[in-house]
Structure 1
Amino acid sequence: MTTEAATEFERHRPRLFALAYRMLGSASEAEDIVQDTYLRWSAADRAAVRTPAAWLTKVMTNLCINHLTSARARRELYVGPWLPEPVLTHTATGPLGPLGPLGPLESAEQRDSVSFALLTLMERLTPAERAVFVLREAFGHSHREVAEAVGIEEAHSRQLHRRARTRLGHPRRRFDVDDEQRRKIVERFFAATLDGDVAGLERLLADDVAAWADGGGEVTAARRPITGRDKVLRYLLGLGHRPEAAHITAEFAEVNGEPAVVVRTGAALLAILVPEIRDGRVSAVRSVLNPGKLAFAARQLA
């Protein structure tokens, strides 16, 4: 492959990763798909490629659809709740790259497109529905462009898009407080958890709050969602009283465009907690503890 062709691909790599991550909910799998796309680009007759961006998008989209088709069976056998792989978009030292690894996240809609809540909900979609939804909603492609990328008729693209929006229960969640307020709520929430502050947690937790913990069978974690303020309160207080709680350090970061807590024990990344804020309260807590799912974030923090 020529230097010019390699340079052309690298120009598109950030967008391809951001697209693949939204389709798969996995940073490590997105990296693999982008690399597979690169190999196909290197072997392609580029003289016949009129628009590299469209060609690369089509190849990668179909790789993602094929991957999702095979991944569905594996995720059905997954031990405990399945959550997306966390991607850090901002740390205490600043944003990770000029646009961040997931592209621009300046608006509520852009942040929503990579939120843990939405990526988890997208597991309800078929691979084709997910591809159409991401291309249309997150990247603003026309239905003609989406149809070309997925290899379907334009009318079918519109149908899949409507079906996906229905399954996801639109309108979706919107951020009702600004970034600084959300960060302060997350800080108070985590401090109250570690301190065993029952009254503080009761004030912060929504009545219908739910907690998910993704250990993937690799580490100890609740294998079913915990719902309701009283049950989640007991669960959180139990975490704060575990022996290892005395040896952890925590720092705040932005994960998938949302304020989150990065938990370490020594130099090792132990967990990433992503609280969801609604009406000024914590409405959900999603915790990723599976070491395999923390590997990408650990590299970002290194």
Structure 2
Amino acid sequence: MTSAGSEHAAAGFDPLRPTLMRVAYRMLGSVADAEDIVQEAFIRWMRADRSEVREPVAFLRRTVTRLCLDQLKSARRQRETYVGPWLPDPIVEEDEVEDVTLPMMLVLERLSPLERAAFLLHDVFGLGFEEVAAAIQREPAACRQLAARARTHVRQARPRFKVEKQRGLELAEAFFAASRSGDMKALGAMLTADVSAHADGGGKRPAATEVVLGFDAVMQQYERVAAWLQKNGSTLVRVGFVNGLPGFITLEADGELQTTALDIEDGKIAAIYVMRNPDKLRHLH
């Protein structure tokens, strides 16, 4: 292939990277793994006989999907030995991205790889079942069944009460202030009775190794956290949306970043998701 041909192929690939990253990240929940998958797709694109490719974006989406399905097989084995709760890598944005929120990604984790692929490609990215079938190498009828099964599980992750954007950010700021100052009365007023707290330290930083369930248990945990933070400090870096949920980034006393995402129902916090694993926060630096 000529140098000019290679440059043209690379230039044609670059505008598709964001779309391919969205597919790979939502399949895998890992920014680093998604970047590796997209880079492998780029290598395959450069090696392919592109004169035979009628729709580059469909070809590359199929390539990324199949690479992700292979990756998920090994990822499942890794998760079996993961220390504590597993959460997807945090993506922090100024505005809500509603197609796949953090709670929905946790539901997707419980699906089979094929169910996840069929649901994401059809319900999230809007592909027809013919194209889904080509991507995951199944019949269209089978893809419909896979997506339908996935949809049943995913419904429970959709918010019952959509929080207004500004109200969500105000709650995030108020939660930061109360949890760092030790104002437990203010903190308690924000939580639902069945609130849960999920912290992903990955065995790399201190974090609860089980999901903390219920108002009393979460309040006790945050009393301990607040007492420690008042001595050691925690600096607010940015308020925004973490995987589609109101939240914030902080710089902690150990010099590492941390993200907190809040799942809000009917104006109160129903779940708290804290990412402390430095490997999953590296891209935020």
State the TM-score bracket (shorter-chain normalisation): over 0.9
| Candidates 205, 210, 220, aligned match of 1:234 | 220
Alpha-carbon distance in structure 1 between the residues aligned to 2:100 and 2:283 = 16
1:35 maps to which residue? 39
Deviations 1:89-119 (A, max 9, x none): 22xxxx7xxxxxxxxx5xxxxx333311111
SS in 2 for 1:284: strand
Distance 1:244 1:21, change over 3 A: farther
Tell me the amino acid that sits aligned with residue 70 of structure 2: N
**2:8 is equivalent to residue 4 of structure 1:** yes
Secondary structure at 1:201's aligned position in 2? Answer: helix
8 Å CA contact retained: 2:169, 2:240: no
For residues 194 and 231 of structure 2, the distance between their equivalents in structure 1, rounded to whole angstroms, comes to 26
Correspondences of 1:71-220 after superposition (within 5 Å): 71-90=75-94, 111-170=97-156, 172-174=158-160, 176-220=162-206
Instruction: Say yes or no: does 1:61 pair with 2:48.
Output: no
Partner residue in 2 for 1:18: 22
Q: CA deviation at 1:277?
A: 0.8
Do 1:194 and 1:245's aligned partners in 2 also have CA atoms closer than 8 Å? Answer: no
Cα separation, 2, equivalents of 1:289 and 1:273: 9
Is 1:263 paired with 2:267? no
Q: What displacement does 1:34 show?
A: 0.3
| Residues 143 and 154, structure 1, Cα contact 8 Å, conserved in 2 | yes
Distance 1:242 1:266, change over 3 A: closer
Kept after mapping to 2: 8 A contact 1:25/1:85: yes
What is the alpha-carbon distance in structure 2 between the residues aligned to residue 169 and residue 121 of structure 1?
9
Two-structure CA RMSD over aligned residues (Å): 1.7
Q: Is the 8 Å Cα contact of residues 112 and 118 (structure 1) preserved in structure 2?
A: no
Amino acid at match of 1:159: Q
Q: Residue 98 of structure 1 aligns with which residue?
A: none
In structure 1, what is the Cα distance between the partners aligned to 2:37 and 2:9? 18
Shift of 1:190: 1.6
CA contact (8 A) 2:188 2:219 kept: yes
Q: Which of 46, 50, 53 is equivalent to 2:50?
A: 46
| Alpha carbons 2:181, 2:230 under 8 Å: kept | no
When structure 1 is superposed on structure 2, of 137-146 and 274-283 the one drifting more is: 137-146
Aligned-pair CA distance for 1:290: 0.5
Deviates more, 1:152-161 or 1:129-138: 129-138
Contact 1:86 1:272 in 2 (8 A): yes
Q: How high is the TM-score relative to the length of structure 2?
A: 0.93
User: Is 1:295 paired with 2:282?
Assistant: yes
Q: Which amino acid aligns with 1:11?
A: P
- Identity within the alignment, %: 40
Q: Measure the CA separation in 1 of the matches of 2:254 and 2:227.
A: 22
How far off its partner does 1:201 sit? Answer: 1.5
Task: Report SS of the residue matched to 1:242.
Answer: helix
Aligned length: 280
Confirm or deny: 8 A CA contact 1:212 1:226 kept in the other structure.
yes
| CA displacement, residues 217-240 of structure 1 (integer Å, 9 cap, x when unaligned) | 111110000000011011112111
| Distance across 2 between alignment mates of 1:245 and 1:156 | 57
Q: CA deviation at 1:215?
A: 0.3
User: How many angstroms apart in 2 are the aligned matches of 1:206 and 1:243?
Assistant: 23
- Conserved? CA contact 2:204–2:278, under 8 Å: yes
The correspondence for 1:274, drawn from 225, 242, 261, is 261
1:283 aligns to 2:285 (yes or no): no
SS of aligned partner of 1:273: strand
Structure 1 position 266, deviation (Å): 7.0
Q: CA, structure 1 residues 36+244, in 2 after alignment: closer, same or farther (shift >3 Å)?
A: farther
